[in-house]
Amino acid sequence: MLADLYDFDKTVYPVDSATEFWLFCLKRHPKIIRHIPHQIFSAVKFFLKKIDLTKFKGEFFCFVKSIDAQNEAELFWDKNANKIFPWFRPEENDVKTVVCSASPEFEISPVLKRLGADVIIGTDMDPKTGEIRGKNCKGAEKVERIKKEADGYIFRNAYTDNPKSDAPLLSLAENKFLIKNGEIIKL
């Protein structure tokens, strides 16, 4: 099955959506501020290389224990879907659309389903605890997840904002594109 393949943050969406989601939740639920000391401590452990990115991300998202994260994701996209770059319109694509992101899958799924993406792959995170099941969906892990969840797809085009970290993702497609400030540049 022929498809186009997209990274999400800074590719389809102009900034890191997980960070914006956290800030959105903090504004709506000030009580989650109580998790900031743990988040800071986790960040220090990560920068000192005491924990890996997957562990850090799971610990950072501990704030979801205090909210209904899936509902908050829906509300977040009600407010922010208009920021998706206008060139990304899966419902108008002549092939299937596969999106693979390091952001939590529960967080990006609402908007991608609304837009008509065929396959949505993100970091598999429990929206009730922040615990990551498996690995953070980044770099080579993206390819592993794509092989599992989009098996049999042949990728015509791949889009990313970071050709270095997404080199494994780009290697899956015939044509490779860089997204810079919303503009599409052929690599």
pLDDT at 135: 95
Q: How far apart are CA 130 and CA 32, in angstroms?
A: 13
Output the average pLDDT for the chain: 96
pLDDT at 100: 97
Assign residue 79 a region (left: φ > 0; alpha: ψ between -120 and 50; beta: otherwise): alpha
pLDDT at 54: 95
Q: How far apart are CA 116 and CA 114, in angstroms?
A: 6
Long-range CB contacts (within 8 A, 24+) of 162-170: 162/7, 162/10, 163/187, 165/138, 165/139, 166/7, 166/139, 166/142, 168/139, 168/140, 168/142, 168/143, 169/5, 169/7, 169/100, 169/142, 169/143
Q: How confident is the model at residue 96 (pLDDT cuts 50, 70, 90)?
A: very high
pLDDT at 169: 94
Segments making up each domain of the chain, as ranges: 1-187
pLDDT in tens, 2-58: 999 999 999 999 999 999 999 999 999 999 999 999 999 999 999 999 999 999 999
Q: How confident is the model at residue 78 (pLDDT cuts 50, 70, 90)?
A: very high
Share of the chain above pLDDT 70, in %: 100
pLDDT in tens, 141-173: 999 999 999 999 999 999 999 999 999 999 999
pLDDT at 57: 95
Domain 1-187, architecture per CATH? 3-Layer(aba) Sandwich (3.40)
Q: Which pTM does this prediction carry?
A: 0.92
